[in-house]
């Protein structure tokens, strides 16, 4: 897991970005029955949370998702802790994380997230050229992905990926130690390759069809004997 720490860190940014975008885009500031909380009228627990959020973003205003979630201060606190942990400087710098969050917001068509993370990138001194670089990469790979999904193309980059020494589920670990049975794949044929290898869409379709066929009852045998004509 140590070697994959960068990927886990990036995945956390993607996850919490989507979590905030969903709340802000779906509810907005004026949804009947669930209005965004006014910081001036907020209870003490929510007001303390708002102060931390403002300090983290160096902003006078509290971002909309937190004002919506703060109707349940304990829940808002849990989400905020996850956001702060995901976006803090760690193995990946915060500027890079804001660029990633901007790309996620673009691809998910989040009006809140796109504007918010663009503002954060600029606050962190990402230049106009840097913003356009993120925009270009996001647009290009979104286009490639849509084309590949439409044509149901299979990935062909597995051979150039770094070698992963960890065993496949159910395979042999280093030193010949068997992977615990709880991690084995319940299949008559073990999946070969690295732990990151994925079964292709075509193989999944074949496996799904085979499972449906095997689960369906066998048809009744058809007699091939020719009926005798009456005398």
CB 33 within 8 A of CB 107: no
Distance CA 8, CA 15 (A): 10
Distance CA 28, CA 23 (A): 8
CA angle 178/156/184 to nearest 5° reads: 20
Distance CA 185, CA 192 (A): 11
Q: Is 33 exposed, middle or buried (0-12, 13-18, 19+ CB in 10 A)?
A: exposed
Distance CA 144, CA 155 (A): 12
First to last CA, the chain: 83
Q: Residue 138's closest CA among 95, 107, 98, 93?
A: 107
Q: Residue 134: how many CA atoms within 13 Å on its side-chain side? A: 23
- Mapped onto helix, strand or coil, the DSSP state of residue 113 is helix
What pTM does this model have? 0.66
* Beta bridge mates, 30: 35
* Beta bridge mates, 178: 172
* H/E element, 55: helix 44-57
Q: Residue 52's closest CA among 70, 34, 28?
A: 70
Local confidence pLDDT in tens for the 231 residues of the chain: 567 888 999 999 999 999 999 999 999 877 777 889 999 999 999 999 999 999 999 999 999 999 999 999 999 999 999 999 999 999 999 999 999 999 999 999 999 999 999 999 999 999 999 999 999 999 998 888 889 889 888 877 666 666 666 665 455 555 555 545 444 444 444 444 443 344 444 444 544 554 454 455 555 554 555 555 555
Sequence-ordered list of residues with C-beta below 8 angstroms from that of 228, at least 6 positions apart, any chain: none
Q: For residue 57, what are its two tokens?
A: 């973003």
């Amino acid at each position: 897991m140590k070697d994959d720490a960068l990927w886990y860190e990036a995945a956390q940014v993607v996850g919490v970005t989507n979590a905030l975008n969903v709340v802000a885009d779906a509810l907005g500031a004026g949804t009947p029955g669930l209005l965004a909380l006014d910081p001036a009228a907020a209870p003490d627990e929510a007001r303390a949370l708002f102060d931390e959020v403002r300090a983290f973003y160096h902003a006078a205003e509290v971002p909309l998702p937190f004002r919506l979630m703060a109707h349940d201060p304990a829940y808002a606190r849990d989400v905020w802790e996850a956001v702060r942990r995901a976006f803090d400087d760690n193995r990946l710098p915060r500027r890079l994380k804001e660029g990633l969050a901007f790309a996620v917001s673009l691809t998910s068509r989040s009006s809140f997230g796109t504007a918010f993370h663009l503002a954060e990138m600029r606050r962190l001194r990402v230049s106009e050229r840097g913003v356009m670089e993120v925009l270009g990469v996001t647009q290009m790979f979104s286009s490639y992905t849509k084309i590949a999904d439409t044509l149901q193309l299979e990935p062909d980059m597995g051979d150039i990926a770094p070698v992963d020494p960890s065993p496949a589920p159910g395979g042999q670990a280093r030193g010949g130690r068997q992977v615990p049975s709880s991690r084995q794949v319940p299949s008559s044929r073990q999946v070969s390759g690295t732990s990151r290898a994925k079964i292709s869409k075509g193989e999944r379709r074949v496996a799904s069809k085979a499972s449906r066929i095997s689960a369906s009852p066998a048809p009744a045998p058809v007699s091939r004997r020719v009926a005798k004509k009456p005398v």
